[in-house]
Structures are given as structure tokens and as C-alpha cells.
Amino acid sequence: MKPEKALIFELSQPGRVAYSLPECDVPDIEPASVIPQSMLRETPASLPEVYEVDVIRHYTELSRRNFGIDNGFYPLGSCTMKYNPKINEDVARLPGFAKIHPYQPEESIQGALELLYTLQNDLAALSGMDQVTLQPAAGAHGEWSGLMLIRAYHESRGEKRTKVIVPDSSHGTNPASATVAGYETVTIPSNARGLVDLDQLRAAVGSDTAALMLTNPNTLGLFEQQIEEIAQIIHDAGGLLYYDGANSNAIMGITRPGDMGFDVVHLNLHKTMSTPHGGGGPGAGPVGVKSRLIPFLPKPVVGRREDGTYYWDTDRPDSIGRVKAYYGNFGILVRAYTYIRTYGPEGLRQVSENAVLNANYMLKRLAPHFEVPYPGVCKHEFVLSGKRLKEYGVRTLDVAKRLLDFGYHPPTVYFPLNVEECIMIEPTETESKETLDAFIDTMIQIAREAESDPQLVLNAPYTTIVKRLDEATAARKPVLNCSC
């Protein structure tokens, strides 16, 4: 068993350095001669004193205590943990992308602007929208930006609408974003088939409805077949339709939110477009809109002149303003652009087809061993319920922990909230049939273990560098940094 890993602070030995700075070739003026003493630091920050080998070994060891897609299968539902292509990493590090400044003269960043302009158009075409802003830094940031656009649209028409409707299966960020955008959330229960209940929807809409937020396919992996009626109900009430693009990996080239009746869309480039999650970020959450919302887009957007040069279009008097400093997560946008061009239109459609077939194959093979709350065809992901195992005292969390012993990242668990003991699986298109089969066999084995030897599952994991951690104490008596 591996010992506890020291903190970098615990490696410190006074006198060691890991840096190499240029000689200071200008006069050594005393700080106090130009800055009042009262503004100068009295005690230096107590940062560790280590040398370069310490730094490399420390972080290399930390990386070995972490699990990424390159380590193995990562079927985390709704997160689209597909392979992160290496070429994307290489090109994002080219000096002409990594070493440019947001305030450089436009004429000195024409290559970057061309890339952004093309990406704006490609994402608009892919989602069936008329214009795209690349500024939002993440999905939740896109949601909030999109809702602010919706708010600006209603206000421009002299309407004060106060409510945003979300299904009970929605991502938690949907209602949270609505609150930050100044809206009250109305949650409507799904019907027995896991879809939007049209009667509930009709009862909830009114002249105060600003928008309905929807993922399609939804978080259960089901396509909202009545999307046109849903759109009609919302539009008849004067509301707008917001598309949460978390599940776009199911539909590329097959159907488009714009064609389904959505007015505002965000796409998660760190999901659908393969940009790495980075252990929690950075991502990118571009927002697309239909033409009637274009005037309100955050500024600037990238424009193209007739002579073929590109520019920042800042002359947008009705814009909601900025949502992020500079121009969004450019380094991520470079990766997404590369991904789209690696596949092209036919390739992206193939991606979605394979993702959906992989999910249906897994669902079919797992169905006899777990409860399937919503049988039938799924899209890119599906949900199972682990409630049958409760009679042996085993819960979904325990199944997830047992999977760790077999070298898998577990699926998403306990989401969506409307499925008891939920297990949400999204294989993505970049996994082979052998990988899927091996995972399925493991899930079946764990279900059997739960029946025959529940303690084996309840005490899992056995092979990880730490066992189950005491989260209750962590929250009750927080230790949030090493100097506490």
C-alpha cells in the first residue's frame, strides 16, 4: 500500500530554489524609495523552498494518483468523456495561438480571428442557429449568458417576464443559472415515460413565462418526441426555448436544436467537441441564437470585412454587455476548431451514430441485470436503477466504488434526481466493443456479488490508494488549506 503523499509545503528545505530568473540589469532601486513602506509586504508569503527535481517528482506522483480518460474507460453520464485528441493539444500550444495578447492590434492576429470566425459559423450551422458568441467559459456560464439574452429580448419588447420552467430531470445548473439571471424557477415533473408532461407544461406556462430550459435528448437519454408541441406551447405564451447542449453528442448532423424550435442554445465544447476537462476546467460554452436575439449578444463578436480581413465587432448598442474578460477561452476554442476539422460534417454525424449505437448496445446487455426505468431506444446515454440491490443492503454508491477495483471510472450516480438509485451511463463513440463488453461483464459480476457477498461490495474499493473518505467530517470541521 502506498504511503501518504506529502504536501509540497512539507518538502521545503530553506535554501533550495527551483527557479531561474534573468539577471536584473536595471538599477537596484529600493522598494521603499518609490512605494510607501505601508504598502510593502512585512512578512514574505511562506511558500515552499524546493528544487526542480522535487517539483517534477511531486506532481508526477500526484498525476499517478489521478484517473483520466487516457487511463481507462470513463462512462460518466452527461459528461461525454470521449478521447481528447493529442493533435488538439499540440496545435493549441503553437506560439501564434498560445503567445498572443487580447489587446494586440487586429492586424497582428488575423489568423486567430479567422479561426474564431470560422468556428462561430460552424457551430451556428451545427446547431441550426443564426449567430454564435464564443465568450462563455463553461456550460453553466453559457446558460446564464443565454438567459440574460432572453431577458434582454423580453425587456426590449416592454415585457417583464419572471419565470423559467425546467423539467425535474434537468441539470442543477439550469435552476441555479435562472436564479443568477434574476428568474424564479418552476420545476415540472416528467411523465411516466421520462419526457416532458405536456399537461404539466400547459399548466405551468403563462404570460410570466420567460423561457423553458430543456436538454434534448434529455438527461435520461430520451429524445423529447413532442418537441414541436412543446415549442408551440412556449412560443404561444410568448416565451422562448433554451437548449442545454450537454447532450449534443447524440444528434450531430441528425437533428438541430434550431430546427426543433429552440431560440437559444449553448454547446459544451469540453463535452461534444472533445476538449479536455482538465480535472474540472477550463471548458467553453458558446451560445447560439436565432436572428431576433442577435442584437443582444455579448460583445464583441468576430466579423469579416468584404476585403477578407477580420475584426472585433464592438459596435453593438443593444448587447447585454460582456460576460467574460477578453474573448472567451481561446485555447479551448482552438482545440474545438481542430476537432471539428478533424471530422468534417460526415465524420461528426458518424460520431453521433456510433455514440448512440454504443449506448443502446450497453443498455440491451445490462437490462436483464438492473432495473431499466425507461425501456426502449435511448440516445447517447441511458439510466439504470440500482434499487433491486437494496434488498441486499447494497446501494448504487457501493456499485460505483466496487467498479474502482476493476480500473473503471464509475458512471454518474444519483442523477437525474427523479430516478431512484440512479446509474447514468454514457459510453461515447471512442470506446471499442471489447471495452464495452468488459465493462458490462464487470457490472454483471458486481450485481452478482451484491447478491452473494454484499460485504465484498460494501467495503469496496480495495485497490485504490485511499479507501472511502469521511466526507461528513470534512464538511463539519473544514480543513481547507494546510496552514489552518
Partner 1 sequence: MKHRYLPMTDRDRAEMLATVGVNSVEELFADIPASVRYNGVLPISPALDEPGMLKHMRRLSDRNADSDRFTSFLGAGIYDHHIPVVIQHVISRSEFYTAYTPYQPEISQGELQAIFEFQSYICELTGMKVANASMYDGATALAEAAALAHGATKRNKIVISRTVHPEAREIVRTTARGLDLEVVEVGFRNGVTDLQQLENAVDDQTAAVLVQTPNFFGCLEDIRAIEPLIHAQKGLLVMSVNPMSLGLLESPGKLGADVVVGDAQPLGIPTSLGGPTCGFFAVSEPLMRRIPGRIVGQTTDRDGKRGYVLTLQAREQHIRREKATSNICSNQALLALCASVYMSVMGKSGMQEVSLQNMRKAHYAASQFPAGSQAFSAPFFNEFVVKLPANADVKAVNAKLLEAGYIGGYDLGVHYPELKGHMLVAVTERRTKKEIEEFVREWEACAV
Binders in 215-274 for partner 1, by CB under 8 A: 222-223, 225, 227-228, 251-256, 259-260
Chain Cα centroid distance, residue 179:
19
Residue 387 CA to residue 448 CA, distance in Å, equals: 14
Binding mask 188-217 for partner 1 (x = CB under 8 A): ------------------------------
Residues 438-457 that bind partner 1 (CB under 8 A): none
Of 180, 372, 438, 444, which lies in the binding site for partner 1, with binding defined by CB under 8 A?
180
CB atoms within 10 A of CB 334: 23
Residue 119 CA to residue 105 CA, distance in Å, equals: 21
* Burial (CB count within 10 angstroms: exposed 0-12, middle 13-18, buried 19+), residue 305: exposed
- Least Cα distance to 457 among 472, 467, 447, 444 occurs for 447
Of the pair 63, 452, the CB lying nearest partner 1 is at: 63
Residue 465 CA to residue 484 CA, distance in Å, equals: 25
Task: Name the DSSP letter for residue 220.
Answer: T
Report, in Å, the least distance between residue 25 CB and partner 1: 4
Does position 316 interact with partner 1 (CB under 8 A)? The reply is no
Residues 76-95 that bind partner 1 (CB under 8 A): 76, 79, 81-85, 87, 89-91, 93-95
- Least Cα distance to 14 among 47, 60, 45, 37 occurs for 47
Residue 280 CA to residue 92 CA, distance in Å, equals: 19
Report, in Å, the least distance between residue 220 CB and partner 1: 13
Does position 305 interact with partner 1 (CB under 8 A)? The reply is no
Of 16, 202, 387, 390, which lies in the binding site for partner 1, with binding defined by CB under 8 A?
16
Does position 102 interact with partner 1 (CB under 8 A)? The reply is yes
- Looking up cell 403563462, which residue turns up? 206
Of the pair 77, 391, the CB lying nearest partner 1 is at: 77
CA distances from 326 to 92, 141, 146, 160, 322 (A): 18, 15, 18, 31, 9
Cα angle 197, 245, 268; round to 5: 155
Of the pair 135, 451, the CB lying nearest partner 1 is at: 135
- Interface region with partner 1, contact rule CB under 8 A, candidates 179-187, 235-243, 286-294, 388-396: 179-187
Can you read off the three cell numbers belonging to residue 289?
441564437
Q: Are 336 and 269 in contact (CB under 8 A)?
A: yes
Report, in Å, the least distance between residue 389 CB and partner 1: 19
The reply to whether omega before 85 is within 30° of 0 (cis) is no
Of the pair 426, 449, the CB lying nearest partner 1 is at: 426
Report, in Å, the least distance between residue 206 CB and partner 1: 18
Of the pair 391, 457, the CB lying nearest partner 1 is at: 457
Can you read off the three cell numbers belonging to residue 141?
456560464
Residues 375-414 that bind partner 1 (CB under 8 A): 376-377, 400-401, 404, 409-410
Does position 283 interact with partner 1 (CB under 8 A)? The reply is yes
Of 324, 387, 388, 390, which lies in the binding site for partner 1, with binding defined by CB under 8 A?
324
- The size of the chain, in residues, is 484
Buried b (16+ CB within 10 A) or exposed e, 248-275: bbbbbbebbbbebbbbbbbbbbbbbbbb
Instruction: Classify 172 as helix, strand or coil.
Output: coil
- Interface region with partner 1, contact rule CB under 8 A, candidates 48-56, 238-246, 287-295, 442-450: 48-56
Residues 114-143 that bind partner 1 (CB under 8 A): 114-115, 118, 121-122, 125-126, 128, 137-141, 143
- Interface region with partner 1, contact rule CB under 8 A, candidates 234-242, 287-295, 382-390, 459-467: 459-467
Residues 338-367 that bind partner 1 (CB under 8 A): 338, 340-351, 353-354, 356-358, 360-361, 364-365
Does position 470 interact with partner 1 (CB under 8 A)? The reply is yes
Report, in Å, the least distance between residue 371 CB and partner 1: 19
Please give the span between the terminal C-alpha atoms of the chain, in angstroms, as a whole number: 28
Report, in Å, the least distance between residue 139 CB and partner 1: 8
Does position 291 interact with partner 1 (CB under 8 A)? The reply is no
Report, in Å, the least distance between residue 157 CB and partner 1: 17
- Least Cα distance to 331 among 86, 92, 90, 142 occurs for 92
Of 160, 198, 278, 391, which lies in the binding site for partner 1, with binding defined by CB under 8 A?
278
